Amino acid sequence: EPVLADSVVEYIGHPLAAVAAETMDIARSAAARIEVDYEVLEPILTIEEALEHEYYVADPMIMRRGDAASALNTAPHRLAGEVSCGGQDHFYLEGHIALAVPGEDQDMIVYSSTQHPTEVQHRVGHVLGVPSNAVTIELRRMGGAFGGKESQSTIIAAIAAVLARVSAKPVKLRLTRDDDMTVTGKRHDFLFRYEVGFDGNGTIQAVDMLLGARAGNVADLTTSVLTRSLCHADNCYYIPNALFRGYPCKTNTVSNTAFRGFGGPQGMIAIEEIIEHIARHLGLDVDTVRRRNYYGSGERDTTHYGMRVTDNIITDIIDQLEREVDITLWRATVDAWNRDNPVVKKGLAMMPIKFGISFNAPSLNQAGALVHVYTDGSVHLNHGGTEMGQGLYTKVAQVVAETFQIDIDTIKISATTTAKVPNTSATAASSGSDLNGMAAFNAASTIKDRMTEVAAQHFDVGVDEIHFADNRVYAGNQSVSFCELAELTWRNRVSLSATGFYRTPDIHWDVATLKGRPFYYFSYGVCVSEVAIDTLTGETKVTRSDILQDCGSSLNPTIDLGQIEGAFIQGMGWVTMEELCWNDAGRLMTHGPSTYKIPGSRDVPTIFNVHILKDAPNREPTIFRSKAIGEPPLMLAISIWLAIRDAVAHLTDYRHHVQLNSPATPERILTAIEDIRARDGGTATTK
Ligand code: MTE
Ligand code: HPA
Ligand code: MOS
């Protein structure tokens, strides 16, 4: 991937030159004077066009189990359909930014807003032609990232570094919001075409599905995103015969990239559409069809990519939520509302989720940490993870505090730097605390073991009799403070510094067959949402959402609640109002907050009940049996899209399948209403 366009500009907005100046204004006016002669080429802009021309950034990816073609032929019922979902701009409050500071020799320090300092280090080294040991990347925190800074920050940092090298001065590159939205990647929009075979109960026998992802001009992370889509196009459902065909479509638009959920949300939208389609066709309740298809025991516990679902709690968690919210009563209230109100209609829908935790490339599932204890008992902590508002630094510091049994404010969480913890993975795939928490635990445990030996000698007892509690270290009735023991350890000439390392066990993945156990475990959750739609304007309001989310044994329930709420609202934006529009020439027209609408505080559901599943430790030995939380709850917002569809389906008494893509904007909802009424012969009821 070239940092700047070379001879061919691949999309409108593709950066092709960079200017450094003493002030931002001078740089901007100089850049404005650059004249470019373009010869306009014929672009490929849409997924459909790319599919037609077989224009891809990588080979198509086929994931299969059984024989979908013959199972479709023999199935009692068979349906075909098409649905699409839009992309999404990350809209982090802090846009992309890098400050490159040249040092002595060939050295370069780059302060970069990035989820992936190591990849920035590699790319900066590459463009400068220097080894990794000459490049240091550092950051204390990002003002939000959401996947947008997993790979994309490399370009910003590389440009800043080149300009810093040629000018021999520090260079800061900060994109304006409009430039940021134009030149950096977004969530992949997808097109799905499917055929499903099922029996009279709604039990799925086969699915053949095309998943077309818009990659944009280069591959970036598209094949990984598509892999995750292929692995989540089952959601919680057992599909005995599956043929999932993934196409990484190349288009002359900005390269799409990681975004919270990383292809998972897209795959799940597709299968949820299929479940709903089956229900409408058979005249069954959607939740009934869901129940008939959940993963179970025996052969029904294995995914289409060969991983067994051994930690399945989806029906337990749904049962618990259904009991707590009394869904039958809720449905009756919605029905009553719809009988009494001719214009504003309500819809209700559930969304269960099963989300795989681990990077789908096994090699990425590793982390390092560095812990120093000083002789005054204060602790200096580094790990390879990055902080973007998700609370990772707090969680990792908690792990160290818990290990040493000391107060968290004794611990200095210092900036992430490639000079202290090398060869890291991106803080992504929700695995930041799983990986870095465990690496920090291992580092702290090494030091604790050494301190324990010193204490045992000091008190003349066995190591088993030493225990750490309340900032002190005890041997029976005797004790010293943690800092006294630190001092004593130093005097005994025992090291108070250690690195820690962690690799996720038991995972494997075969990229040729797309089979294996890519995930260490699954995270589960369920949400029921109620929406009101205005059938005259297409406007919607989420009137209530109830969430029950699995966090294992939560490391920090307050942070996790924040993550659940934030992810859910971000997902709500994706399925309802955030719409990326390109004109016919391929120019992105929605590149600022005036044209691209993210949810505001008033869009939050009127009633919003969020709960963490209790007494549900991770069955795998993760750090303190916790589970990852960053991405999974985003997909719970698909319940809103489904509830809107439920409200539209009500208009013709649930006789017809709703044709409505995501995002369900007012325009699309009005079109869906017209469409469903027309299919009902224009005699639609508004009862
Ligand atoms: N929360 C905030 N406040 N800001 C963010 O940028 N990114 C999300 C999620 N939560 C994000 C966030 C994404 S995409 C991921 S993968 C995880 O945080 C990454 O952090 P974790 O692995 O430590 O959960
Ligand atoms: N999630 C996020 N980022 C990634 C992944 C993933 O599964 N794989 C590679 N980069
Ligand atoms: Mo998150 S999309 O894995 O950075």
Confidence of residue 686 (pLDDT cuts 50, 70, 90): very low
pLDDT for res 513: 97
Q: Is 147 in the pocket of ligand 1 (CB under 6 A)?
A: yes
CA pair distance 583, 43, nearest whole angstrom: 12
CA 631/CA 425 separation, integer angstroms: 17
Q: Ligand 2, residues 187, 224, 366: which to mutate, most atoms within 8 A of Cβ?
A: 224
Within its chain, how far is the Cα of 660 from the centroid? Answer: 24
How many Å apart are CA 207 and CA 271, to the nearest integer? 9
Write out the two tokens for 421: 């913890």
Q: What percent of the chain has pLDDT over 70?
A: 99
User: Which ligand has the shortest distance to the CA of 555?
Assistant: 1
3-state DSSP assignment of residue 211: strand
CA of 431 from ligand 3 middle (Å) equals: 9
Q: How far apart are CA 602 and CA 240, in angstroms?
A: 43
Q: How far apart are the CA of 594 and the centre of ligand 2, in A? A: 31
The Cα 486–Cα 471 span in angstroms is 11
Whether residue 620 is predicted with pLDDT greater than 50 in this model: the reply is yes
Nearest residue to 373 (alpha-carbon basis) of 449, 476, 470: 449
Q: What is the 3-state secondary structure (H, E, C) of 141-162?
A: CCCCCCCCCCCCHHHHHHHHHH
Q: What does the block give as tokens for 558?
A: 């307050």
- Mutation probe of ligand 3 site: the residue of 88, 225, 260 with most atoms within 8 A of C-beta: 260
Q: Catalytic one among 195, 272, 273, 631?
A: 631
Which residues are registered as beta bridge partners of 64? 243
Q: How far is CA 27 from CA 19, 34, 102, 236, 524, in A?
A: 6, 11, 20, 52, 49
523 CA from centroid of ligand 3 (Å) = 15
Give residues with Cβ within 8 angstroms of 309, minimum separation 6.
295, 301, 302, 303, 354, 522
Cβ partners under 8 Å of residue 223, min gap 6: 57, 58, 61, 248
Atom 4 (ligand 3) nearest CA: 147
Distance CA 535, CA 672 (A): 10
* Strand pairing report for 97-102 and 366-373: unpaired
Mean pLDDT value across the chain: 97
The amino acid occupying position 478 is Q
- Separation of alpha carbons 260 and 614, rounded Å: 25
For a mutational test of ligand 2's pocket, the pick from 151, 222, 225, 357, i.e. the residue with the most ligand atoms closer than 8 A to its C-beta, is 225
Distance CA 195, CA 229 (A): 17
Q: Which atom of ligand 3 is nearest to the CA of 261?
A: 2
- Distance CA(203)–CA(214), nearest Å, equals 31
Q: Which two tokens stand for residue 147?
A: 């996947």
Q: Which residues lie with the beta carbon below 6 Å from any ligand 3 atom?
A: 115, 147, 150, 258-260, 262, 428-429, 631
Would you say residue 685 has pLDDT above 80?
no
> What ranges make up the beta strands (E) of 66-177?
77-85, 97-102, 108-112, 135-139, 171-174
pLDDT tens digits for range 132-174 = 999 999 999 999 999 999 999 999 999 999 999 999 999 999 9
Is residue 35 annotated as a catalytic residue, yes or no?
no
Instruction: List, in sequence order, every beta strand (DSSP E) within 16-85.
Output: 61-65, 77-85
Confidence at 687, pLDDT banded by 50, 70, 90: very low
Taking residue 325's Cβ as centre, other Cβ atoms within 10 Å add up to: 16
- Could you read off the pLDDT of 381-422 as tens digits, one per residue? 999 999 999 999 999 999 999 999 999 999 998 999 999 999
High-pLDDT (> 90) share of the chain, %: 98
Summarize pLDDT for 488-523 with one digit per residue, the tens. Answer: 999 999 999 999 999 999 999 999 999 999 999 999
435 lines ligand 1 (CB under 6 A): no
The residues facing 502 across adjacent strands are 367
Q: Check whether 214 has a pLDDT greater than 50.
A: yes
Q: Which atom of ligand 3 is nearest to the CA of 147?
A: 4
Query: Are β-strands 108-112 and 97-102 bridged in parallel, bridged antiparallel, or unpaired?
Result: antiparallel
- Whether the per-residue pLDDT at 683 is higher than 80: the answer is no
Ligand that comes closest to the CA of residue 185: 3
Q: How far apart are CA 531 and CA 349, in angstroms?
A: 9
Q: What H or E segment, with its residue span, contains residue 27?
A: helix 24-32
Nearest atom, ligand 3, residue 260 CA: 2
Which of the ligands is closest to the CA of residue 631? Answer: 1
* CA distances for 651 relative to 329, 459, 658, angstroms: 21, 78, 10
**Which residues make Cβ contacts (< 8 Å) with residue 407, sequence separation at least 6?**
401, 471
- Under the banding of pLDDT at 50, 70 and 90, the label for residue 681 is confident
Per-residue pLDDT of 621-658, as tens digits, reads 999 999 999 999 999 999 999 999 999 999 999 999 99
Instruction: Give the torsion sign (CA, 44, 49, 50, 55).
Output: negative
Show the ligand 2 pocket: residues with CB < 6 angstroms: 150, 221, 224, 228, 258, 262, 359-361, 364, 426, 428-429
pLDDT number for residue 119: 98
Q: Give the global pTM.
A: 0.98
Instruction: With beta carbons less than 8 A apart as the criterion, state whether 599 and 573 touch.
Output: yes
Choice from 141, 388, 416, 433 to test ligand 1 binding pocket (greatest atom count within 8 A of CB): 388
**Length of the chain, in residues:** 687
Q: What is the pLDDT of residue 357?
A: 98
| CA 617 to chain centroid | 22
Residue 247: Cβ within 10 Å count: 26
Backbone phi and psi for residue 472, each to the nearest 5 degrees, phi listed first: -135, 170
Cα dist from 576 to 264, 437, 596, 597, 663, whole Å: 18, 35, 12, 10, 5
Report the Cα 218 to chain-centroid distance in Å: 20
Atom of ligand 2 nearest to the CA of 358: 7
Looking at the CA of 569, which ligand is closest? 1
